[in-house]
């Protein structure tokens, strides 16, 4: 899977994109707090760093450019200092800005965040949020009509600040009927406004999804993904889109597409103050993947990987083409060693995250493994997978195993969005892992019961619980190897493990 999906990402530099929407300037004032203000019980932040970068539609554009695409942006800003800074920052990041209209009658949208010791203290918003004038609409439509003749995909990034007016939407709808019309991907607070456009893909977050379908957002009885996973028909009908990518914050995203079951991706937890702009990165990755002709599920995996990279960076950030390729190709980190997980686990517990642990050989990855790992991940917030070392597999399975080395198995598993961390172990049982990780839930698959599971008492002594998941009937590595052996004995062509592996992973793509 990782080789196939990485192939789509390698096409990104050939893709031409236009972004239309609300261009903003994101400003970050960072410092430290050592005292309270005398005038009021509020912290005094001693600023020691100031950074500015494009925000809103500008953040979408710079993410696209960082992923290698050829990018143009269309918007209306003020004739002021923030506009100069935003345009300069875009140009420095290889975004073409000839479609940005400067107008003395508007004030450029600016979001200024104040951080103390890495924590967000306040956000100050200013700028014109009313609809652009008829004259500005006409100028923007003229540039839009010229631009879309030479792009593969048009992204609408509508924050509701008056740039994408009804007249602009009508112009986009008219362009949709052209023989040379690009793909259209929409991220908007009010998606119902774009139904007549019949977008290729839309990206609502949970609040926007609920508003679109008039659902309550206060229901906390079930996780968000459970509440929305059965809404495929309703969402596709309400948006008239081919693909709906519903982002659910720390619960990942669910991809809805016509004639295919919903597909879930997973998020790796991060502090909320580090998620600014992650939706823009997801949007950029999704649009480029769709333009590269990835399947909806593959596009979801690419978008999820891109956003996961930026949420672990401070401030509004971008995902580079190189970082995305490394992630999708399964580049390993030191987290494959148990001692390097200690600080990560401490942070998760401090955040109240529910930690799930499972273990196995995962020698030739197949559909049963994928289903099992996705079910295990749904039982908590973080999934850690213990992977048997080569020597321990030989002791358990015999001298002919494993088929794939530990390094290869770790690289394949690291490409799965449902897996948060991998850790190898070389003992015959996972007791040492359990003692070190102290999971909230320990998951095993097969015909075990609580009484026949050797690790059960240790898990419960450490405060965890046991969950037994059934395997998919007829799906096992042993059966795959037996079939290969029988074909060889019969003189038929033998399917090598290298060939079996991508086919068996087809459920991911």
pLDDT tens string 426-472: 888 899 899 999 999 999 987 788 888 989 999 999 999 999 998 66
Q: What is the model's pLDDT at position 176?
A: 83
Lowest-pLDDT choice from 36-50, 215-229, 294-308, 360-374: 215-229
Specify the pairing of strand 243-247 against strand 253-257: antiparallel
**Residue-wise burial string across 115-143, b where 16 or more C-beta atoms lie within 10 A, e elsewhere:** bbeeeebeeeeebbeebbeeebbebbbeb
Which has the closest alpha carbon to 279: 382, 375, 209? 209
Is 280 labeled as catalytic in the residue annotation? yes
Side-chain-side CA neighbours of residue 286 (13 Å):
35
Torsion of CA 445, 449, 452, 457, to 10 degrees: 90
- Cα 160 from chain centre: 23
Task: Note whether 353 and 382 are within 8 A (CB).
Answer: yes
Q: How confident is the model at residue 332 (pLDDT cuts 50, 70, 90)?
A: very low
- Give one DSSP letter per residue of 190-226, joined into a string: -GGGGGGG--SEE--BHHHHHHHHT--S---SS-HHH
State the pTM of this model. 0.72
Mean per-residue pLDDT of the chain: 86
pLDDT, tens digit, 9 for 90 and up, residues 92-147: 999 999 999 999 989 999 999 999 988 889 999 999 999 999 999 999 999 999 99
Q: Average pLDDT for residues 276-303, to the nearest whole number?
A: 93
Q: How confident is the model at residue 294 (pLDDT cuts 50, 70, 90)?
A: very high
Task: Note whether 325 and 415 are within 8 A (CB).
Answer: no
Q: What percent of the chain has pLDDT over 90?
A: 57
> For residue 133, what are the contacts with CB-CB under 8 A and spacing of at least 6?
103, 105
Side-chain-side CA neighbours of residue 494 (13 Å):
12
pLDDT at 341 over 90: no
Q: Where in the chain is the domain with CATH 3.40.1190.20?
A: 2-33+46-328
Q: Considering just the CA atoms, what is the radius of gyration of the chain in Å?
A: 25
Q: How confident is the model at residue 496 (pLDDT cuts 50, 70, 90)?
A: very low
Q: Rounded CA gap, 183 and 487, in Å?
A: 46
Side-chain-side CA neighbours of residue 441 (13 Å):
19
Q: Rounded CA gap, 264 and 374, in Å?
A: 9
Q: Rounded CA gap, 284 and 249, in Å?
A: 16
Catalytically annotated residue among 280, 308, 381, 440: 280
pLDDT at 184 over 80: yes
Entry field: residues in the chain: 509
Q: What is the model's pLDDT at position 179?
A: 74
Q: Rounded CA gap, 64 and 36, in Å?
A: 42
Side-chain-side CA neighbours of residue 46 (13 Å):
5
pLDDT at 274 over 60: no
Q: Is the peptide bond before 402 cis (omega within 30 degrees of 0)?
A: yes
Lowest-pLDDT choice from 190-194, 237-241, 260-264, 469-473: 469-473
Q: What is the model's pLDDT at position 145?
A: 94
Q: At what angle do helices 2-9 and 296-311 cross, to 10 degrees?
A: 80
Q: What is the model's pLDDT at position 499?
A: 39
Q: Rounded CA gap, 3 and 45, in Å?
A: 47
Q: What is the model's pLDDT at position 504?
A: 31
Could you say which of 3.40.30.10, 3.40.1190.20, 3.40.50.1820, 3.40.710.10 is the CATH number of the domain covering 2-33+46-328? 3.40.1190.20
Q: Average pLDDT for residues 392-409, to the nearest whole number?
A: 88
More confident residue, 56 or 500: 56
Secondary structure E strands in 380-472:
382-388, 421-425, 441-445, 465-469
Segment of 144-158, 303-317, 333-347, 385-399 carrying the highest mean pLDDT = 144-158
Residue 69 Cα distances to 2, 73, 172, angstroms: 21, 12, 22
Q: What is the model's pLDDT at position 420?
A: 83
> 334-508 adopts what CATH topology?
Rossmann fold (3.40.50)
């Amino acid at each position: 899977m990782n080789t196939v999906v990485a192939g789509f990402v390698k096409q990104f530099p050939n893709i031409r994109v236009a972004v239309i929407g609300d261009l903003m300037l994101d400003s970050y004032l960072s410092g430290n707090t050592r005292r309270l203000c005398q005038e009021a019980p509020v912290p005094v932040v001693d600023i020691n760093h100031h950074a500015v970068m494009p925000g809103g539609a500008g953040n979408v554009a710079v993410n696209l450019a960082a992923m290698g695409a050829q990018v143009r942006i269309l918007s209306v800003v003020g004739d002021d200092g923030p506009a100069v800074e935003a345009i300069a920052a875009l140009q420095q990041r290889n975004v073409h800005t000839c479609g940005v209209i400067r107008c003395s009658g508007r004030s450029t949208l600016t979001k200024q965040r104040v951080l103390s010791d890495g924590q967000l203290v306040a956000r100050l918003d200013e700028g014109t949020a009313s609809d652009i004038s008829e004259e500005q609409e006409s100028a923007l439509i003229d540039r839009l009509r010229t631009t879309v003749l030479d792009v593969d995909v048009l992204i609408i990034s509508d924050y509701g600040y008056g740039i994408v007016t009804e007249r602009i939407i009508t112009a986009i709808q008219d362009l949709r009927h052209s023989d040379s019309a690009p793909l259209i991907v929409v991220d908007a607070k009010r998606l119902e406004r774009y139904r007549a456009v019949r977008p290729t893909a839309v990206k609502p977050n949970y609040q926007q999804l609920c508003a679109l379908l008039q659902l309550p957002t206060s229901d906390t009885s079930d996780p968000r993904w459970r509440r929305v996973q059965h809404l495929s028909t309703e969402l596709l009908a309400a948006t008239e889109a081919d693909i709906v990518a519903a982002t659910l914050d720390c619960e990942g995203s669910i991809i809805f597409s016509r004639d295919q079951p919903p597909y879930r991706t997973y998020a790796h937890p991060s502090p909320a103050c580090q998620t600014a702009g992650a939706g823009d990165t997801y949007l950029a990755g999704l649009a480029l993947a769709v333009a590269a002709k990835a399947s909806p599920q593959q596009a979801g995996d690419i978008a999820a990987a891109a956003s996961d990279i930026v949420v672990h960076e401070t401030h509004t950030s971008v995902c580079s083409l190189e970082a995305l390729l490394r992630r999708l190709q399964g580049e390993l980190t030191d987290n494959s060693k148990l001692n390097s997980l200690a600080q990560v686990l401490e942070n998760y517990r401090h955040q109240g995250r529910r930690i799930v642990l499972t273990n196995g050989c995962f020698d030739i990855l197949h559909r049963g493994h994928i289903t099992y790992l996705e079910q295990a991940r749904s039982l908590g917030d973080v999934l850690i997978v213990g992977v048997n070392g080569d020597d321990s597999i030989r002791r358990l399975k015999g001298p002919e195993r494993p088929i794939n080395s530990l390094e290869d198995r770790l690289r394949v598993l690291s490409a799965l969005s449902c897996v948060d961390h991998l850790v190898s172990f070389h003992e015959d049982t996972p007791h040492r892992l359990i003692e070190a990780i102290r999971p909230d839930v320990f998951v095993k698959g097969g015909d075990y019961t609580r009484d026949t599971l050797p690790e059960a008492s240790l898990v419960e002594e450490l405060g965890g619980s046991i969950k037994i998941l059934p395997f998919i009937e007829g799906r096992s590595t042993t059966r795959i190897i037996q079939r290969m052996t029988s074909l060889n004995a019969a003189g038929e062509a033998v399917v090598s493990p290298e060939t079996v592996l991508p086919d068996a992973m087809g459920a991911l793509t």
